[in-house]
């Protein structure tokens, strides 16, 4: 039986979909045949992505949503279910990192905001998905910062370690109906990572320690997400696939 990497007629919710990795994953899902719901805080950016996907022949529903607010997350999944049908897949990608510096210097407000979006938001979304569907696939976007030390991004790294742990536990608790996996990107050229990319010293230090000797582009994360959402990965759950160009093996 051939592996089925398509998402034909599946409904997939992608959070943080207005730019960067989320946008790239949403575009790849639409190209693979999914009806995609795009979520992020700002409607304007979502509208632009949805229009571009439609121009390419895909289907996308843009819905503004703060993923750290459970009421908004519930409303998002209600609307998607009403307009597109039962959700088959969820990509948790929305994230924030308001503080860059030594871990002990972070304020309580920045700490709470980072966990609100990066951890609570993921959990709220999975709960809303699981409450409305009989099964499906969840893809959590984590980070290599959740695997190795994350100097100057310590609390962000803590949240991503939490995501990896959450992925394993939910895979057990929601199986066999739902599969739950994660992707751990390395350094990817996005607006989110602009502080790192634009710093020559930091960028070169990371690139020189990466087996492929370069940082990634957002579209290079999309194929892994489509695989994990598709039936081609039907016996894969609880796993974190590291997509870092070989950074964590050197």
Chain segment 56-67, per-residue pLDDT in tens: 999 999 999 999
Residue 250 counted as domain residue: no
Contact 48, 71 (CB under 8 A): no
Q: DSSP class of residue 247?
A: G
Catalytic entry in 99, 122, 124, 156: 156
Residue 138 located in a structural domain? yes
- 184 class by beta-carbon count within 10 Å (0-12 exposed, 13-18 middle, 19+ buried): buried
Q: Is the dihedral of CA 6, 45, 197, 161 positive or negative?
A: negative
Residue 211 located in a structural domain = yes
| Catalytic residue check, 99 | no
Say if 249 falls within a structural domain: no
For the ranges 63-67, 140-144, 152-156, 199-203, which has the lowest average pLDDT? 199-203
Tell me, yes or no, whether 34 lies in a domain: yes
Structural domain boundaries, residue 174: 11-243
Overall pTM surpassing 0.75 (yes/no): yes
Q: Kindly indicate the confidence band of residue 224, based on its pLDDT and cuts at 50, 70 and 90.
A: very high
For helices 20-31 and 219-229, give the axis angle rounded to 10 degrees. 50
Domain membership flag for residue 248: no
Q: Is the pLDDT of residue 2 over 90?
A: no
In a 3-state reduction of DSSP, which class is residue 231?
A: helix
Residue 5 falls inside a structural domain: no
Q: How many domains does the chain have?
A: 1
Helix (H, G, I), strand (E, B) or coil at 7: coil
pLDDT(199) > 80: yes
The model's confidence at residue 1, banded by pLDDT at 50, 70 and 90, is: confident
What CA–CA distance (Å, rounded) separates 67 from 242?
Answer: 24
């Amino acid at each position: 039986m051939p592996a089925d990497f398509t998402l034909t007629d599946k409904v997939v919710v992608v959070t943080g979909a207005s730019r960067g990795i989320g946008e790239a994953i949403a575009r790849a899902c639409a190209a693979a045949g999914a009806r995609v719901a795009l979520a992020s805080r700002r409607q304007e950016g979502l509208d632009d992505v949805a229009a571009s996907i439609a121009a390419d022949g895909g289907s996308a529903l843009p819905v503004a949503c703060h993923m750290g607010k459970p009421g908004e997350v519930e409303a998002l999944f209600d609307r998607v279910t009403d307009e597109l049908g039962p959700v088959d897949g969820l990509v948790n990608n929305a994230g924030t990192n308001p503080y860059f510096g030594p871990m002990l210097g972070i304020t309580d407000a920045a700490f709470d905001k980072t966990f609100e979006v990066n951890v609570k938001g993921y959990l709220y979304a999975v709960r809303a998905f699981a409450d409305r569907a009989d099964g499906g696939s969840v893809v959590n976007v984590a980070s290599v910062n959740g695997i190795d030390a994350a100097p100057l991004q310590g609390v962000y790294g803590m949240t991503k370690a939490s995501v990896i742990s959450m992925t394993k536990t939910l895979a057990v608790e929601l199986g066999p109906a739902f599969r739950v996996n994660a992707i751990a990107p390395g350094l990817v050229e996005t607006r989110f990572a602009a502080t790192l990319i634009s710093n020559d010293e930091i960028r070169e230090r990371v690139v020189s320690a990466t087996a492929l000797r370069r940082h990634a582009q957002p579209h290079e994360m999309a194929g892994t997400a489509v695989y994990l959402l598709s039936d081609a990965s039907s016996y894969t759950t609880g796993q974190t696939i590291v997509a870092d160009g070989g950074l964590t093996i050197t």
